Structure formats: C-alpha cells, structure tokens
Amino acid sequence: MKLAISGTYSSGKTSTVFALAHLTGIPRTTAKTMREILPDAVPGKTLAQCSSAEFVQLVVRRHAERVKHEALLGDRFVSDGTSLQEWSYGTARVVYGIDPGASVGRRPLEQTAEMHYFAEVFAQLGHAFKQHVASGFDAVVHLRHELPLRNDGHRPMNDEFRSTADQMLLETFAEIGLPVHVIGGGVPERLASIVELFGLPVIMPVEEAIELARQDYSRQDLRLETERALASA
C-alpha cells in the first residue's frame, strides 16, 4: 500500500509518519523537506524572505524530491504528505501573500500583476501534481486541523492561511477521487486508527515506536538558513 499522511503544517504529520513506520515496519519516504532544500535553492534566505519566483523553485524541487523517493520504494511506503501540500501552500499564497505571516489582519491584499502570474503558474502545477498524486497513492489519512500553530520561525504564523490550505487539500482529494480518512487525537490514537483502518502489521509496542520517532525527529536539522550561515561563517 502507498499511503500518504496528509495535513497542514503543525498538524503532527512528521511525528505520525516516523512512528507509523517504526510501528508497522512499512518504510517511509525520506525526501528532503522544504527546510532542507532551502540552503541549496535560495542560499542565505529564510522561507519568508523568498520571492514568488524563488518559492516556485522550492516547490518544484520539493516535488522532484518526493517523486524520486516514492519511486525508490515501489508499491509499499508511507509518505509525509504529498506534492499537494506545497501546491496548496502556493495556491493559498495568492490570497494571503508570498509571506502569509505578514498578512495577518491585512486582507484583502492587492492583487498585483506578479501575483496574477503566480496564480496561473500554480494552477498549471496543480494539473501535474493532482495527476501524480491520484496515480501514485492508494489512500490518504488526513490529520485533523486541531493543533495550535508552533512558531518555529520557518512556517507562517497565520491560522487563517493554514485553515484555507487544509480545506483545499480535502477538496482536492475528493476532486481526484483518492480515498481519504480524516482522523485526530494524540499520536497513540492516530497510530491505532491507522493500523485498524488498513489492517497494518504491528511489530513493536506503540510506546517504543513513538520514542524511536522522537529520536528521529530530534536528529533533524531544524535551524533557519540564517542560523546555518552564521554557524558556518
């Protein structure tokens, strides 16, 4: 089974995917995240500092990473989201601006010629990304939009933007006809629900899987690109 764990940022996707892979023995994709891609794609900038053109580059690179790692694992894997994640964040930026964290309380924004073109680009990317996800996955588990935003300095602190992207994801899964199961709760409850939904194997105690996932998460380099630049100076 090719299973995607979907949801917006700060929904707990990564922790859930790490723990599910340990719990079931099903491999997870290891594509580079947007944060990991950023230093090579746009050196010295944070995500909030990227232009619209730079954001397009990041999304295309992230999609390429996803496609490559999905192909490596064949017909059995669990994925931290899909290419529709980044597409939804880009499409929602047409309404909330390239830096949605700076637009809180300032809607509607002026729709410039640049943003009109940006909208056209993401509409076209949407055609390709929807086709890829529809053919590349068997089912989706979508994590409820129920956790508070976590201010990590990378992702925008704009709950309205996040809610818009969340709704867009659910509507798009319905549009492309991909089976989607919406679940919530803490990580143990999420794992139990996913295992039951798909009849997945369990090869270790839930508590052990969650601890291993915590260790995996702690090894990620979550520094901002500006922090990396200072450290290497």
Instruction: Report the CATH number that the domain containing residue 93 is assigned in CATH.
Output: 3.40.50.300
* 183: its two tokens: 């679940």
pLDDT tier, 152 (very low <50, low <70, confident <90, very high otherwise):
low
Asked if pLDDT for residue 222 goes beyond 60, the answer is no
Exposure of 105 by Cβ count < 10 A (0-12 exposed, 13-18 middle, 19+ buried)?
exposed
Q: What is the pLDDT of residue 153?
A: 62
Lowest mean pLDDT among 39-48, 102-111, 169-178: 102-111
* 104: its two tokens: 């809180």
Q: What is the pLDDT of residue 110?
A: 76
What's the domain range around 37? Answer: 2-232
User: Which one is predicted more confidently, 223 or 202?
Assistant: 202
Mean pLDDT of 111-136: 96
Instruction: Enter the pTM of the model.
Output: 0.89
The per-residue pLDDT for range 56-75, each reduced to its tens digit, is 999 999 999 999 999 999 99
**Structurally, how many domains does the chain consist of?**
1
pLDDT tier, 121 (very low <50, low <70, confident <90, very high otherwise):
very high
CA distance 224 to 128: 30
Residue length, the chain?
Answer: 233
Instruction: Determine contact, residues 174/180, Cβ cutoff 8 Å.
Output: yes
Mean pLDDT of 10-27: 96
Q: Which amino acid is at 157?
A: M
* 122: its two tokens: 């993401």
Q: What is the pLDDT of residue 31?
A: 92
Residue 159 CB contacts under 8 Å (≥ 6 apart), including other chains: 149
The per-residue pLDDT for range 126-140, each reduced to its tens digit, is 999 999 999 999 999
The per-residue pLDDT for range 199-216, each reduced to its tens digit, is 999 999 999 999 999 999
* 111: its two tokens: 């729709």
